[in-house]
Every structure is written in structure tokens, then in C-alpha cells.
Amino acid sequence: MNALIKSATIVDSKSDFHNETVDILIEKGRISKIAKHITNPKNYQEIKRDHLHVSQGWFDSSVSFGEPGYEERETISNGLKTAAYAGFTAVALNANSNPVIDSYADITFVKSKAQNNAVSLYPIGALTQRSKGEDLAELYDMTNAGAVAFYDYQHPISNPNLMKIALQYASNFNGLICSFPQESRISGLGVVNEHINSTKLGLKGNPALAEELQVARDLFLLEYTEAKLHIPTISTAKSVELIRAAKAKNLDVTCSVAIHNLMLSDVVLEDFDTNYKVLPPLRTSKDCDALIEGLKDGTIDMVTTDHNPIDIEHKKIEFDYAKYGTVGLESAFGALQTLFTTKKTISLLTQGKSRFKIKSTTINEGEIADLTLFNPNTSYEFSTEHITSRSKNSAFLGTTLKGKTYGIIANDLIALK
């Protein structure tokens, strides 16, 4: 693939051309020249866009595409197209499918479905067989097939001894264990945050305590095993405090936060809109503030869209019975830019790669072209017209977002809107 990007501002603190507006020549998938002006050498495809900015390719540590088994929600093919148009060159795919991805063959299958794509797909294998929380899955075999981590998506491991064994076993081959932060015997049948609004609305509450007990338990197990742990999608102020203290003790722990848990609090639930039914639930504005502060001081290592397409039949129903989940890839950049500067937003979208064994590249001559193209200077109201996913269950519908993406250049391919 050969291309010439014209008049692009580079946003990459590790680049020699950071904050400069330049032309970028790409030949055979690699950056061959960066300069103020480059004459097209061989009639290559020229890429020009309004207020064009370029950064390192973005990464999302938690996406679900449905396939195999839930293709009505999303397919791997269209999910990767969605990711590309949303600016992501790499995604970690949850084992949120039917059957659950819990074997060497399953990992091989999803990787084969993602071949020859601009977006690199990194499978996360189930931690336990069929994500039932009873017996460990084939962790080592899945590692050999290409799994980058192990996680029973949104299924907490209730047995602490099983989690202890998983941490100990995975440490033998540098495997990354992920643990969903919820104590189900405390959360019970709760569907929203247990607080004033849950009482007002008459909806069963899922208390912050349910998350914090699980986080505390897992951190004790981590300290005992001296392994490594990733806690996905924390949502409470106390969870931030617990992880901050664990890092101060040099425990090998990382965590993420879903973008919707940063931006939205439980006050949006007044109309019983099931697009806001997510797990963990939307918490209070105090929790949102603590999560944002956790990102700023480095306690929280990465953001995620926690992209989870749900078909209309399972969303447009009574709140208690609707499935959890929101799509988030398409709104990620615009949402984050309402909270942070462009520089900080790009930093958040490119962090976390090393934790999932993904190599980072810089925007310098001689480097492989792994690029996201975007315009940070436009505002618009997010609607279904902006959603490429098969499912349209977005918590950001009707929200004013700042900045839009054009697409990506990666894996020797161009994927632009």
C-alpha cells in the first residue's frame, strides 16, 4: 500500500514531528518520508481532509462483536469495519459469544475471521470453561493460539480459590488474568446504581459495595500470588482508592474504565431509557469525578468503549428485562474530547497496548504506518447516522460530541470513511 497524506498535524509526543503540520509519505506500508511538502512521486493515492490530524493507532481493550452465535448483534467483519471508521487499529475481543471462546480452536477461529483487515484483532479467551466460573479453561493452549488475556466477560468469579489458582497458573507463562469487579451476592438482582435515583425510579439497586468488595478481594489474592491482574471497567470512587493503594505497594495491577461511566451519571435514567442499562451501572457524579481524577493521576491505566452491541429485541423492552450493554466505538473520540484536551484524549486511546502484548509504533520515518486520522475541531449531535454497528444501542444518542474520525491506515491497508 502506497499513499501520501497531505497537510496533517501529527499528535504523537514520541514523534520528531509532534505538533507539526506536514506531509507523510507511506510506501509499502511503512513511513518513508515526513516533510513540510512532499511531491507525489508515483501518482500514489493522496489523502486530504479538513483539519486533518494523525496519531498513533488507537487501541480498545474491551469489545464484543457477537460472532459466533450472536451475528444478529454484530459480526466480526462489520465490527472491525466499525472499529476502523472509529479510529481503532487494534481491539481486544471479549469471549462474549455463543459458544464462548474458551479453547485453542475458538481462538484460531476468531483470528481467521479477522485476517487481511486493517484492524488487528487480539482475542481474549474465557477464564473458565463456558464462562461458568467452575473450572479453568485451556489457558495455556489459548495462549499458544494467540489469546492475549483471559476474562469471563461481565461474569464475576465468585470462588476466591479458583481466582487464586488462575493467578498462580497464568504466572507460569506470563498470562494476564482479568476479573470482573462485582460480588454477585451483594449486587443481587440490582439493575442500576443503588442510590437516591434507584429509589425514585423504583428500580432494584446494585450498590457500589458489590464492586468494591470484589476489587478488595482480588487485590488481596494478587498480593498473595505475586501474579499480574487486570480489573476491567471499574466504576466507583472507592475502587479508584483501592487500586491506587495497591499500586503504591507495587502490585502488578492495571485497570480500565468505560467511557460512558466517565461521562454519564445515574441521573440520565429518569426516562427509563434502556440504552443506559450498562454493567457496571452508571454511578453518581461523585464517582465520575473520581474516575476522571484516577485517569489524570495514572491510577486508571486505560479507557475502553466496552463496546457491546445488543439487538433491538433485547433492548427495546422493559428496563428490568433489557440486556446490559452499549455500543461505544463510534462515540469514543468525541465523548472523551468533551472531558479532556486532544493531547490527553489521544494518550488515553493509545495507552494499554503493552499490557495486552501489543507493540506500539511512533510516527517517524522508517516506522510501520499504524495511524489514526481525525479532526478534533468539530462538534455535532451524535445520532444513529453515525453508527456503523449493526446494533444501535448507544448511550450517547442525542449527546453533543466534539471531534470526528476519518479512519485508519494500518496493516498495509487504508480504511477511511
Which of 56, 64, 75, 103 lies closest to 370 in space, CA to CA?
56
CA of 371: how far to CAs of 51, 89, 90, 233, 362, in Å? 16, 7, 11, 26, 9
What digits encode the pLDDT tens for the residues 187-234? 999 999 999 999 999 999 999 999 999 999 999 999 999 999 999 999
> Do β-strands 88-93 and 120-125 pair in parallel, antiparallel, or remain unpaired?
parallel
pLDDT of 186 reads 98
Q: Tell me if the domain spanning 58-356 has CATH number 3.20.20.140.
A: yes
Mean pLDDT of the chain: 97
108's CB contacts (< 8 A; 6+ apart) are: 145, 146
Residue 170, phi then psi, degrees to nearest 5:
-65, -25
**What residues are labeled active site?**
306
Distance of CA 136 to the CA centre of its chain: 24
What digits encode the pLDDT tens for the residues 32-75? 999 999 999 899 999 999 999 999 999 999 999 999 999 999 99
Domain borders along the chain are 3-53+364-380+400-416, 58-356
pLDDT of 111 reads 97
pLDDT of 414 reads 98
* Superfamily of domain 3-53+364-380+400-416 in the CATH hierarchy: Urease, subunit C, domain 1 (2.30.40.10)
Which residues are registered as beta bridge partners of 257? 303
Cβ count near 277 (within 10 Å): 25
Q: Kindly state the cell numbers that stand for 71.
A: 451475528
What digits encode the pLDDT tens for the residues 375-412? 999 999 999 999 999 999 999 999 999 999 999 999 99
Average pLDDT for residues 230-253, to the nearest whole number?
98
Where residue 369 falls among pLDDT bands split at 50, 70, 90?
very high
For residues 13 and 27, what is the distance between their CA atoms, to the nearest angstrom? 23
Where residue 280 falls among pLDDT bands split at 50, 70, 90?
very high
pLDDT of 141 reads 98
